[in-house]
Amino acid sequence: MDRGKAYQKKKHIASLFSLAVTIVSLAVFILTPLSICLRAFSQNHFENPWIGVAVYFSLFSVILFFIDLPLTYYSGFHIEHEYALSNLTIRGWVRETAKRQMIGFAFAVILVEMLYAIIRRWPDGWWIIAWLAWALVSVAMSRLWPVFIAPIFNKYERLSNEELRRCILDLVNQVNLKIENVYSMNLSKTTNKANAFFQGLGSTRRVVLSDTLLRSFTPEEITVVVAHEAGHCKHRHIVKEIIFGFAASFLIFWLAYRCLAAFAGPLGIESAADVAGFPLLCLVAVIFGLISMPLGNFYSRMLEREADEFALKSTKMKTAFISAMKKLSLLNLADPEPHPLIEFLLYSHPSIRNRIKHAEAFAR
* CA atoms within 13 Å, Cβ hemisphere of 130: 30
Rounded CA-CA distance 302/347 in Å is 11
What single-letter amino acid sits at 296? Answer: G
Chain mean pLDDT for the chain: 92
User: What's the pLDDT band for 364 if we cut at 50, 70, 90?
Assistant: confident
Residue 355 predicted with pLDDT over 70 = yes
Cβ atoms within 10 Å, residue 281: 23
Q: Write phi, then psi, for 198 (nearest 5 degrees).
A: -90, 140
| 167 against 111, higher pLDDT | 111
pLDDT attached to residue 213? 93
CB 296 within 8 A of CB 186: no
Q: Give the strands of the sheet with 206-210, arranged side by side.
A: 156-158, 182-185, 206-210, 196-199
Average pLDDT (227-256) is 91
SS3 label, residue 45: helix
Q: Rounded CA gap, 267 and 36, in Å?
A: 9
Query: What CA–CA distance (Å, rounded) separates 224 from 353?
Result: 17
d(CA 352, CA 338): 9
Compute the CA torsion angle 68, 70, 74, 76 (nearest 10 deg): 50
Torsion angle in degrees (nearest 10) through CA of 34, 36, 37, 42: 130
C-beta of residue 170 within 8 angstroms of C-beta of residue 112 = no
Does residue 1 register a pLDDT over 80? Answer: no
The rounded distance, in Å, linking the Cα atoms of 191 and 84 is 9
The one-character DSSP state at 281 is H
Q: Output the DSSP codes for 186-210.
A: -GGGTBS---EEEESSGGG-EEEEE
Q: What is the pLDDT of residue 47?
A: 84
Residues 6+ apart with CB under 8 A from 360: 318, 322
49-73 and 2-31 helices, crossing angle to 10°: 150
DSSP assigned state of 307: H
Per-residue pLDDT band for 204 (boundaries 50, 70, 90) equals confident
Q: Which of the four pLDDT bands, split at 50, 70 and 90, describes residue 299?
A: very high
Q: Which domains does the chain have, with CATH numbers?
A: 156-236+301-363 (3.30.2010.10)
Sequence-distant (≥ 6) Cβ neighbours of residue 104 within 8 angstroms: none
Q: Give the distance from CA 303 to its chain's centroid.
A: 16
Q: Give pLDDT tens digits for 54-93.
A: 999 999 999 999 999 999 999 999 999 999 999 999 999 9
Q: Which of 204-208, 223-227, 241-245, 246-250 has the lowest mean pLDDT?
A: 204-208
In whole angstroms, give the CA distance from residue 320 to residue 223.
9
Residue range 237-252: average pLDDT? Answer: 92
SS3 263: helix
Angle at the Cα of 48 (from 43 to 50), degrees rounded to 5? 100
Which has more confidence, 257 or 203? 257
Task: Of 266, 255, 347, give the one whose Cα is nearest residue 300.
Answer: 347
Which one of 15-19, 44-48, 201-205 scores highest in mean pLDDT? Answer: 15-19
- In this prediction, residue 106 carries a pLDDT of 94
Strands 182-185 and 206-210, bridge-based pairing: parallel
Q: What is the mean pLDDT of residues 296-317?
A: 94
Contact between 188 and 210 (Cβ < 8 Å): yes
Residue range 133-191, pLDDT digits in tens: 999 998 888 878 877 888 888 898 888 888 888 888 888 888 788 787 888 999 999 99
**What does pTM read for this prediction?**
0.89
